[in-house]
Structure 1
Amino acid sequence: MTKTPNISFEFFPPKNMAATFGLFETVNALHDLKPGFVSVTYGAGGTTRTLTHEAVELLHKKFGLNVAAHLTCVDATKAETLAIADAYAAAGVSEIVALRGDPPKGAGGFTPHPEGFANSIELIEALSETGKFKLRVGAYPDPHPEAADENADVKFLKRKFDAGADSAITQFFFDPDTFFRFRDRAVATGVTGKILPGILPISSWTGVKKFAQSCGTPVPAHLDDLFTKAGDNAEQLSIDLATDMCEKLIAGGVDDLHFYTLNKPNLSKSVCTNLGVTSA
């Protein structure tokens, strides 16, 4: 029998009132599964910085969740970024997902603020020095679009842990072997911290393909065929595929799973139920 994993969820900050209700509905549907933590993202270019902060405080205070707030280097000075971190600490938030962050749309690439952090390593070091936070970072089992070679992401992850990271959360992937190969390379490089696989139950195959292409994640041809033929059964197919991948990850020694909910709780909750994670 598959052992029951520890789980966590990622949410988007709401951009308007309708989205606020959507976030509440998502959290209401998932919080009774007792996630170890939940994270709240930043929009590209830091566009949801204030909304993220408000959502983090709300989830922490109203729902009593352990919230890991995303914090990026984009379009802010070091002082401004650390002031945001201080505000999180003052609100009782003790975890941060420290990321370089995506550049604003149309920017063509990341350019550090003249008075800001040059990359995620500098941000992690500065946050670690405060002693206030448990730090989680990003990891890329498939090569990041800016990576020089397939080992570049592993080497950079090692630097993140050396800088003070406590654990890493991967970008989503389609094949559990992709995660296992990355984990093995990371261990061989000297990474000893926990690496949590990021799981994306597929709510829209068209949308996921587009997102995958933008972040360098290879799209398996057989999935294209499966979703083309699925028709009205696409949701059940998504649940079955995600459940199967999670079971294989658990069988391969994974204890923790991080679900990208896209603020749509039903798929993630169904997969968790299949894995034995319930509110009972």
Structure 2
Amino acid sequence: MSAPQVSFEFFPPQSLEASFRLWDTVQTLAPLDPTFVSVTYGAGGTTRDLTRDAVATLHKSSGLNVAAHLTCVNATKEETLAIAAGFAEAGVKEIVALRGDAPKGQDKFTPCAGGFANSVELIEALAATGDFKIRVGAYPDRHPEATSAQADVDWLKAKIDAGASEAITQFFFEADTFFRFHDSCVKAGINAPILPGILPIENWKGTRNFAKRCGTPVPAWLDDAFEKAERDGRADLLATALCTELCSELMEDGVDALHFYTLNRPELTRDVCHALGIAPKLDLQNVA
């Protein structure tokens, strides 16, 4: 079983300390030769300018293939496409196109006046420019706003048909969750690659709360395992073992690319990648 291709998601920094953490994360993970790295938007588009600046800086200085997140939140169509044009002018040719979460204080997403109503409209507009490779989100567990699991599959197909070429899933805890979803996508005629999104568990309480907000079911055995591990001071060891096992199960059944949500804390992701046989390929001196 050969080592998989990997890609990494980063957060844009919101402070000087966070800027150093992001750069440390890049230096730690760049030697693993990712196919791309992505930089997120904050909830409600709150880090739009920070995302733009981080993407431009990483593209210029890291030598990595950088993909920018772009959402429909709190911007007109013209404003959103102007941001995309700025990415293209900076040499960034890949976008992760998302509808985006509702701004803080709102219960659900409501399109901005003159803005894109949903991710399909955004993807169609980006595809029409011819400037970008477009990736989109996918949901192996039912999205909180979806009427059914099949509705998530149908919506993903609409996004692929609109011009996206690849999908990245929300994180999940068991390999069977991904394979069930992937089989449903194939049955629906989706031929585009679907990258499993992997979330190394840096903090179980935080991960559990995040999963609840995302509608991701949490297996009872995980609660028990982390309760015991935290009591014995072995939480990091357990997290590394579980993440490595999940990735190995995916690889054994044919998955050849993994997308890691790093949370700008790279050590666990790096350790998992090393355990999967992904050896450093780049000279750190070239990442400056």
- With the shorter chain as reference, the TM-score category is over 0.9
Question: AA paired with 1:72?
Answer: T
How far 1:114 sits from its partner (Å)?
A: 1.3
Instruction: Deviation per CA, 1:194-245: give whole Å up to 9, x if none.
Output: 0000000000000000000001000110000000000211001001000001
Partner of 1:230: 229
In the alignment of these two chains, the number of paired residues is 279
Question: AA paired with 2:244?
Answer: T
Partner of 2:269: 268
Question: AA paired with 2:151?
Answer: A
Q: Confirm or deny that 1:69 pairs with 2:54.
A: no
Alignment of 1:236-251 (within 5 A): 236-251=237-252
Partner of 2:23: 24
How far 1:104 sits from its partner (Å)?
A: 1.0
Partner of 1:39: 38
Question: AA paired with 1:50?
Answer: D
CA distance in 2, matches of 1:181, 1:192: 15
Question: AA paired with 2:141?
Answer: D
Question: AA paired with 1:247?
Answer: S
Question: AA paired with 1:241?
Answer: L
Partner of 2:55: 56
CA distance in 2, matches of 1:50, 1:223: 37
How far 1:106 sits from its partner (Å)?
A: 1.7
Question: AA paired with 1:29?
Answer: T
Alignment of 1:5-154 (within 5 A): 5-154=4-153
CA distance in 1, matches of 2:196, 2:101: 20
CA distance in 2, matches of 1:157, 1:78: 21
Question: AA paired with 1:271?
Answer: V
Question: AA paired with 1:46?
Answer: G
CA distance in 2, matches of 1:64, 1:50: 21
> Which secondary structure state, in structure 2, belongs to the residue aligned with residue 153 of structure 1?
helix
CA distance in 1, matches of 2:51, 2:246: 30
Structure 1: tracts of 5 or more residues without a match: none
Please give the root-mean-square deviation of Cα atoms over the aligned residues, in Å: 0.6
Partner of 1:186: 185
Structure 2: tracts of 5 or more residues without a match: 282-288
CA distance in 2, matches of 1:165, 1:176: 24
CA distance in 2, matches of 1:113, 1:105: 14
CA distance in 1, matches of 2:219, 2:249: 17
Partner of 2:278: 277
CA distance in 1, matches of 2:203, 2:100: 24
CA distance in 1, matches of 2:271, 2:49: 32
How far 1:49 sits from its partner (Å)?
A: 0.2
